[in-house]
């Protein structure tokens, strides 16, 4: 099949459904072309080697990529974020339509919700089926992030997303909760499939010299609890700082390490200093090839989102990465994400936005011996390999693409192959 991938974010920006996904499809015999923007996420600045121009063609690891212009931004300003999203949507719907070849199937990665504009236009222009991959429920996610509060605008965005969802021939979601939410909104159940996200398995397998590991991870005699990823409003990391204070007051031998970027990082760093937290460290953004070894250097890996109904049906992508890393998980998220960790017997679940519950979970990890923690991590790794790895996910997508095109699965692409 000829697959056109439509996504605002693509490598060198971090995106699991970006280049690794395209290469995996190509390896299974499909032709893949990508329509995306100029890379600027998560800092809101163009990556080195790129400058804005009307369009740019490049080939990345054998994958043809077409880039169209956008307004680079990813800060707290809702207006600038809207400009970022809408500028790419308009450029992809106009310029992009002239620059890409007609596919057999169109795959669109959502968010942002504005991706629906080029997705629907390209679907009808090329007269091909649309497979719409929903990673965030809009407008719910936008409201939860605090970016949008105007009820009228939220209502219009809800109407827009509903119209886009109904245009999709197949919808893919990342959790059972997402599927149930869309069915409750009136979408047909037989058009919606759950495909769990996988982790960046190449990065996890990368080697990184121990001398290059951040010194903040060196904490002899202490349990290192690591949060890796975006530090924004949705992550609610003030609760983790409050939990760190409780641990410090209880003299628990623990260090909380935060690695990554995000719009809330500097404020959190300043608050940690003002609280006098000697058990908290902030690490700079790290290259992807360093993340596997960095996760291995910690004893416990932390997931946290604010206590919001939306996040009960969300599975943060770091969940899969943590499971694949084979390390114990402190899961401070309700719902589907906690269910995965519980099914895998791979960690301890704490109450989100509850510093006392989080500190209590940390104490339980401290009181375990190293062998108990090792076995917990191994159970998580085995669960990931059985049910969540990239190969299983790609095979499921391949079947969905074929069904959307009205094709029967080929002999070596059957449903039975989806169980690794």
> Count of CB atoms within 10 A of residue 58's CB?
11
Distance CA 299, CA 33 (A): 40
pLDDT digits (tens, 9 = 90+) for 183-231: 998 999 999 999 999 987 776 666 544 456 677 787 788 999 999 988 9
Per-residue pLDDT for 420 more than 70?
Answer: no
pLDDT digits (tens, 9 = 90+) for 285-313: 887 777 888 898 899 999 999 988 888 89
Q: For the chain, how many helices (H) and strands (E)?
A: 16, 14
Q: What is the mean pLDDT of residues 352-358?
A: 96
pLDDT digits (tens, 9 = 90+) for 242-266: 999 999 999 999 999 999 988 899 9
**E strands present in 97-215:** 105-110, 130-134, 170-173, 192-194
For residues 198 and 389, is the Cβ–Cβ distance under 8 A? yes
Band (pLDDT 50/70/90 cuts) for residue 414 is: very low
Place of tokens 């694949």: 324
Q: Which tokens belong to 43?
A: 């800092």
More confident residue, 418 or 81: 81
Structural domains of the chain ordered from first start: 2-198+389-418 (3.40.50.2000), 206-386 (3.40.50.2000)
Distance CA 276, CA 75 (A): 27
The proportion of the chain whose per-residue pLDDT surpasses 70, expressed as a percent, equals 92
**CA-based torsion, 6, 11, 14, 18: positive or negative:** positive
Band (pLDDT 50/70/90 cuts) for residue 375 is: very high
Query: Which residues is 153 bridged to in the sheet?
Result: none
Q: What is the mean pLDDT of residues 320-339?
A: 94
Distance CA 141, CA 312 (A): 12
**E strands present in 120-201:** 130-134, 170-173, 192-194
Which of 317, 379, 369, 371 is CA-nearest to residue 346?
Answer: 379
Band (pLDDT 50/70/90 cuts) for residue 108 is: very high
More confident residue, 395 or 417: 395
Band (pLDDT 50/70/90 cuts) for residue 4 is: very high
For residues 322 and 380, is the Cβ–Cβ distance under 8 A? yes
Place of tokens 């519950």: 357
Lowest-confidence segment of 190-204, 271-285, 354-368, 398-412 by average pLDDT: 398-412
Distance CA 36, CA 142 (A): 21
The proportion of the chain whose per-residue pLDDT surpasses 90, expressed as a percent, equals 68
pLDDT digits (tens, 9 = 90+) for 381-394: 999 998 899 998 99
Query: What pLDDT score was predicted for residue 97?
Result: 92
What does the mean pLDDT of the chain come to?
A: 89
Q: Kind of pairing, strands 63-68 and 56-60?
A: antiparallel
Per-residue pLDDT for 376 more than 70?
Answer: yes
Query: What pLDDT score was predicted for residue 331?
Result: 97
Q: Kind of pairing, strands 2-6 and 31-37?
A: parallel
């Amino acid at each position: 099949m000829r697959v056109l991938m439509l996504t605002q974010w693509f490598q060198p920006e971090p995106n699991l459904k970006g280049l690794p996904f395209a290469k995996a499809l190509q390896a299974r015999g499909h032709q893949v072309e990508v329509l995306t923007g100029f890379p600027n996420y998560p800092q809101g600045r163009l990556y080195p080697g790129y400058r804005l121009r009307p369009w740019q063609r490049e080939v990345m690891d054998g994958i043809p990529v077409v880039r169209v212009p956008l307004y680079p931004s990813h800060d707290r300003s809702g207006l600038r974020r809207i400009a970022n999203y809408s500028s790419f949507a308009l450029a992809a719907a106009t310029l992009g339509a002239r620059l890409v070849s007609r596919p057999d199937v169109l795959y669109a990665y959502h968010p942002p919700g504005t991706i629906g504009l080029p997705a629907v236009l390209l679907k009808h222009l090329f007269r091909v089926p649309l497979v719409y991959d929903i990673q965030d429920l809009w407008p719910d996610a936008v409201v939860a992030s605090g970016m949008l509060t105007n009820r009228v605008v939220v209502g219009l965005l809800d109407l827009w997303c509903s119209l886009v969802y109904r245009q999709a021939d197949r919808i893919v979601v990342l959790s059972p909760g997402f599927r149930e939410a869309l069915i409750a909104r009136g979408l047909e159940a037989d058009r919606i499939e759950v495909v769990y996200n996988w982790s960046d398995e190449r990065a996890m397998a990368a080697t990184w010299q121990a001398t290059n590991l951040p010194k903040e991870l060196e904490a002899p005699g202490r349990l290192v609890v690591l949060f890796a990823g975006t530090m924004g409003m949705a992550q609610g990391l003030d609760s983790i700082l409050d939990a760190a204070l409780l641990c410090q007051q209880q003299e628990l031998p623990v260090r909380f390490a935060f690695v990554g970027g995000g719009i809330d990082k500097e404020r959190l760093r300043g608050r940690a200093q003002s609280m006098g937290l000697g058990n908290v460290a902030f690490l700079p953004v790290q290259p992807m090839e360093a993340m596997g070894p960095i996760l291995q250097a910690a004893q416990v890996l932390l997931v946290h989102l604010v206590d919001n109904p939306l996040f009960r049906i969300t599975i943060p992508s770091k969940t899969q990465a943590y499971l694949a890393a084979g390390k114990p998980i402190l899961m401070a998220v309700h719902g589907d994400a906690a269910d995965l960790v519980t099914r895998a017997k791979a960690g301890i679940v704490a109450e989100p936005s509850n510093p006392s519950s989080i500190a209590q979970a940390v104490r339980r990890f401290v009181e375990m011996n190293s062998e108990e923690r090792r076995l917990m991590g191994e159970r998580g790794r085995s669960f990931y390999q059985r049910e969540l790895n990239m190969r299983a996910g790609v095979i499921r997508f391949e079947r969905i693409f074929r069904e959307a095109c009205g094709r029967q699965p080929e002999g070596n692409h059957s449903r039975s192959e989806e169980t690794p």
